[in-house]
Structure 1
């Protein structure tokens, strides 16, 4: 990430605490790891205890310093269970969002901040790898489907979760206004959608950067003209996700004036009514940029064995099932059952927009500067 400060990725929206709690409980109910009391599932004891058994064999113990982005959350009971089973004690620090995290890891690579890092996404992964921040590690717990997310097929970073940054649409607003909902990015430059869109600044917001990358992927060399057309059509730019979604967007708690806001494909699942009413928002799946978050053992770690055990822990069934309700992301293990609300209202895009991580690393700063010149002036 550049040296701009990024916003929190997805703060919990207080107005949706009930829906969030219900979804978290539903995720916990389908956990297939240790402690699952669902009679219809059988825990994989060998998979869940491998790291613990290996730790015992090598005299595991001591503190594992975990460096994360500031939206990291795993249920406390899972943390406690890991510490009890493994003999390690986890200590957490969070220097900022995913971009700030990578910056700090690079600046301190000769005296690393910890043993293991979580939260580096594909917008910044190549930069960390190029700076030799991480030590190679291949976890035996990595599910086969996750191998598609490895950076250039390497093992410096382990994929943990995935999600899509997408424009969200207030379907009720469009129905009441008698205007057809926009179906793709190009629609939003038309006169029917003047003053409809709010996005976040890619220099100050992780979703904002992801959406900028989505337009690069969609329009190629024409991405700058697309942003000029959006700006001419009444685009609103704000600094943080919470301002865009919770204040300016008409479809969420703020009931703002704009019916199209940048958020996540998972957001509609948190707009389900208190009595189970269908949400009146949807994600524009044609606008989605696929975000992958990684963990890695830090080069020069004091406790590399503990770092590896923590990565195995993040890939365990229990933690993977915990991720949707805690961090609004999809587990990298696609075989786990998800809550109905999640599968119905929070789909991943079938054909997400992507940019090669190496290309992102080479052009990120220039793209942000070009965007700033066009949109901010």
Structure 2
């Protein structure tokens, strides 16, 4: 079918957003962050473990300001042993499979699309941080205390402002606009089976069109020439005209934060996130059930909600802090404000239908 390509590559995670900056800021500062490797602290030189070492299991996109983590270690007496475990889906799967013999003490990176599974499988024990009332409580899952929201990274349509300014086509404002023949062959999206933003966008269309209408919506997108790629990197850096790759398509599925990476010399972003098309994607942390260091694990959750850690999230992970009292960088406030009314679906509904929805989508769109 015209405009549709088959998926390629591995599951695309939020690590992709580091590439959109053309920098390795987070990855460079996180040197040594490899699976099973303690990057700070983690025992004495003779191999004994006489310290208060806490294993934080997270995804491959985790990045941070080393000075902030070092300050936490000094003040708490805890050595933070950070171990990465793939993307959000792989992380969740690892936690579920190891729940009877947990692979760590605390985990960070289970997101909205997999939160229902983690809760259903009893991966985390209940813990409500005293800092949760400063914003994290706004993103609670099913009124549970087992998961604590740490950051928000909404997935939205992004447009190339210059392309639309120079064309005879008005910029779209919402999802329904994309069905208009005026936008034929202008949109590139990611396969929800292989891409985190692709899955979030599928969920956005289901929330928008409903269970009875989302298939017709995607049939319309297919017939209007939507292009499908395996992951964010290909879609944003090769197909999207608003990135440095100067691709042919001026509409792409990306993040609400993406325009902050596309600010020109005049201070104006080349791109714009359409805030009426966003799906709310939240990342959570929690104390793993069965840990023998529950108090120290809770202290790590508290740390992830601390002002110093929350304040560096935008720079190091390109996500929005959940704390209401932490300001975004000035460039973000102008170019990439946090959407006020993103759509979302209940965690249990996503968990109960995710695989079937993705399978149906692939049959419908890719054939």
For the aligned residues, what is the CA RMSD? 1.9
Per-residue CA deviations over 1:69-128 (Å, capped at 9, x if unaligned) read: 111111111111111111111111111111111011001111111111001111111110
Which of the residues 301, 325, 329 maps onto 1:335? 325
Cross-structure match for 1:348: 338
Cross-structure match for 1:183: 173
Which of the residues 12, 15, 33 maps onto 1:7? 12
Cross-structure match for 1:300: 290
Alignment map for 1:217-256 (pairs within 5 Å): 217-220=207-210, 221-256=212-247
Cross-structure match for 1:360: 350
**Structure 1 residue 349: deviation in Å?**
1.8
CA distance in structure 2 between the aligned counterparts of 1:175 and 1:10, rounded to whole angstroms: 31
**Structure 1 residue 164: deviation in Å?**
1.0
SS of residue matched to 2:312 = helix
CA distance in structure 2 between the aligned counterparts of 1:333 and 1:165, rounded to whole angstroms: 19
Cross-structure match for 1:202: 192
CA distance in structure 2 between the aligned counterparts of 1:243 and 1:328, rounded to whole angstroms: 19
**Structure 1 residue 210: deviation in Å?**
0.5
Contact 1:61 1:86 in 2 (8 A): no
**Structure 1 residue 146: deviation in Å?**
2.3
Contact 1:265 1:347 in 2 (8 A): yes
User: What 5-or-longer segments of structure 2 have no aligned partner?
Assistant: 1-8, 30-49
Contact 1:66 1:115 in 2 (8 A): yes
SS of residue matched to 1:186 = helix
SS of residue matched to 1:152 = coil
Query: CA 1:14–1:262 in structure 2 vs 1: closer, same or farther (change >3 Å)?
Result: closer
SS of residue matched to 1:226 = helix
Structure 1 or 2: more helix by fraction: 1
Which of the residues 96, 101, 104 maps onto 2:86? 96
Cross-structure match for 2:140: 150
Q: How many residues align?
A: 335
**Structure 1 residue 6: deviation in Å?**
2.3
Alignment map for 1:37-186 (pairs within 5 Å): 61-186=51-176
Query: CA 1:245–1:141 in structure 2 vs 1: closer, same or farther (change >3 Å)?
Result: same
SS of residue matched to 2:339 = coil
SS of residue matched to 2:64 = coil
**Structure 1 residue 14: deviation in Å?**
6.7
**Structure 1 residue 5: deviation in Å?**
5.5
**Structure 1 residue 8: deviation in Å?**
2.5
User: What 5-or-longer segments of structure 1 have no aligned partner?
Assistant: 25-59
CA distance in structure 1 between the aligned counterparts of 2:10 and 2:102, rounded to whole angstroms: 21
Structure 1 runs (4+) deviating above 4 angstroms are none
Cross-structure match for 1:268: 259
